Structure 1
């Protein structure tokens, strides 16, 4: 199981209301004062934002646009070779710019007619219940900052490239968007932290790091794989297992390394029907029931 807080640099507000992003000492931008200032600058409007407000716009710098362009250029041929058709179809339909960072409201305008999803700004970590529950309403919380320019093909935390290139191209596919919506409904039904964590862990091994057999080949559909320049090339070497929700929710794993164990759907039908069905039927009693079933095997 994972703690989502580890994925994001903490964001706090000073007494005067100024946002502070607390980067880990080993973050590529930790010793770059200008990068730290920029992260604070981007986080502040998102931290102050409330539903109903206009989504904050970020005037991205030439450096930030070059990072976006570099990652899009380098990922494109990998997607063609290694991503599922459903992702490629969503990517084509959404038609994100590849030469500059899009604004969140522009991405929302593209997603609306395709799946009904829209983006809300996130300064950093969004509480589990809010992040997953919002999916039920067709809302995806997205960061707006970019990774450090010294390592454009690596980020230790989810940035706008992960959120938009990884997740939003998936959300442009109505069938996959519906699975995410069902995950949100499952989270909304949870009355215990344990139940919510179970949903989050299954989400991790499906929507974040899921793979799928398609046309006799193993392909990626997880946003974490699809937005990672390095890991997308390595996932076929992982320990590939069939979908098993109890294993997904109880397997210990390290989010700071490439995932050594992945779970493969047998085609899009297993994702939409079986994974989607799991989320559609999930309640707080599900973990105990699946544990009993696993013990009998």
Structure 2
């Protein structure tokens, strides 16, 4: 989702449909662009077994994402529709929040159609087709996670006028983008921002710096996040079923009212009542802070 939509135009840009979708333009990708996808895919897929959720790994197979080259969204959507009724559409970049919520509520995932340059393999500020498709789409082949994404979109449409968009953004960030899950007696990654990042795939599970805390929806909504570096806290769900249950059972209107009078937590703070799985040293974040002039 966007950062509130303030920097986005009120109407779709030229060439986009009323719902902000555009043609993917699959035939316009160059051999070099396909090669960037292949390089990224090979690097990530080789290191994710034993680290990524089994549902994510299964999604790679179900959707045949191991085939060479940037996926064709039409072909990808055919396979995804058979699995969970979702489809993938191209957009020109970030879209307004109401547009984003409406697409999710209708089981449509919006993805950027451009791919990063070869010198941007390890970091890109705006999500590209690799982040959006490799990172997000495999889990949409899982029926429970697919329902969670739809429920998130429906919640956004219903409650976006209550002044809680920044709290909804935190929920998305700490689950869809940077979530961890208990699985097979261990922790696994499932958030798209982690599975599509070589460095964070290692950091999120192995580094002693970040906190790892049991997921609670109100706790997550009180916690700011980092957009410029590895996270200082990761939230761990017990299962996708539990994530969906907590989301469906949450009455966001009174929750927003309660949180409006409750101060945010510091990004590295542990709170009373936290289920602390790992008390991090925060050494990585402090080292980066010490390096600033």
Q: TM over 0.5, yes or no?
A: yes
Map of 1:22 onto structure 2: none
Map of 2:266 onto structure 1: none
Contact 1:11 1:123 in 2 (8 A): no
For residues 282 and 147 of structure 1, do their structure 2 counterparts lie closer, same or farther at Cα, with a shift above 3 Å needed? Answer: farther
Listed as ranges, the gaps of 5+ residues in structure 2 are 264-270, 274-293
Map of 1:111 onto structure 2: 80
User: Which shows bigger deviation, 219-228 or 96-105?
Assistant: 96-105
Contact 1:241 1:261 in 2 (8 A): yes
Q: Which of 115, 130, 136 does residue 167 from structure 1 map onto?
A: 136
Normalising by structure 1, what TM-score? 0.78
For residues 97 and 77 of structure 1, do their structure 2 counterparts lie closer, same or farther at Cα, with a shift above 3 Å needed? Answer: closer
Q: Which of 193, 196, 211 does residue 239 from structure 1 map onto?
A: 211
> How far does the alpha carbon of each residue in 1:137-178 deviate from its partner, in whole angstroms, 9 at most, with x for none?
011111000011123243222100011001110111111100
Map of 2:118 onto structure 1: 149
Q: Which of 124, 134, 150 does residue 93 from structure 2 map onto?
A: 124
Map of 2:3 onto structure 1: 3
Match of 2:56, SS?
A: helix
Q: Distance in 2 between matches of 1:52 and 1:249?
A: 28
User: Which shows bigger deviation, 128-137 or 256-265?
Assistant: 128-137
Match of 1:169, SS?
A: helix
> How far does the alpha carbon of each residue in 1:187-206 deviate from its partner, in whole angstroms, 9 at most, with x for none?
11114252333222111111
Listed as ranges, the gaps of 5+ residues in structure 1 are 20-43
Q: Distance in 2 between matches of 1:76 and 1:296?
A: 38
For residues 76 and 53 of structure 1, do their structure 2 counterparts lie closer, same or farther at Cα, with a shift above 3 Å needed? Answer: closer
Q: Distance in 1 between matches of 2:19 and 2:261?
A: 42
Is 1:287 paired with 2:256? Answer: yes
Q: Which of 141, 150, 157 does residue 181 from structure 1 map onto?
A: 150
Map of 2:280 onto structure 1: none
Q: Distance in 1 between matches of 2:272 and 2:94?
A: 38
Is 1:82 paired with 2:51? Answer: yes
For residues 54 and 246 of structure 1, do their structure 2 counterparts lie closer, same or farther at Cα, with a shift above 3 Å needed? Answer: closer
Q: Distance in 2 between matches of 1:220 and 1:126?
A: 26
> How far does the alpha carbon of each residue in 1:198-246 deviate from its partner, in whole angstroms, 9 at most, with x for none?
2221111111111011112111111111111111110023210111222
Map of 2:174 onto structure 1: 205
Q: Which of 255, 274, 277 does residue 227 from structure 2 map onto?
A: 255
Q: Distance in 2 between matches of 1:69 and 1:265?
A: 31
Q: Distance in 2 between matches of 1:266 and 1:80?
A: 19
Normalising by structure 2, what TM-score? 0.79
For residues 52 and 110 of structure 1, do their structure 2 counterparts lie closer, same or farther at Cα, with a shift above 3 Å needed? Answer: farther
Map of 1:49 onto structure 2: 17
Match of 1:81, SS?
A: coil
- What is the deviation of 1:97? 4.1
Residue-pair matches, total? 259
Contact 1:68 1:101 in 2 (8 A): yes
Map of 1:26 onto structure 2: none
- What is the deviation of 1:68? 0.3
Map of 2:281 onto structure 1: none
Contact 1:176 1:272 in 2 (8 A): yes
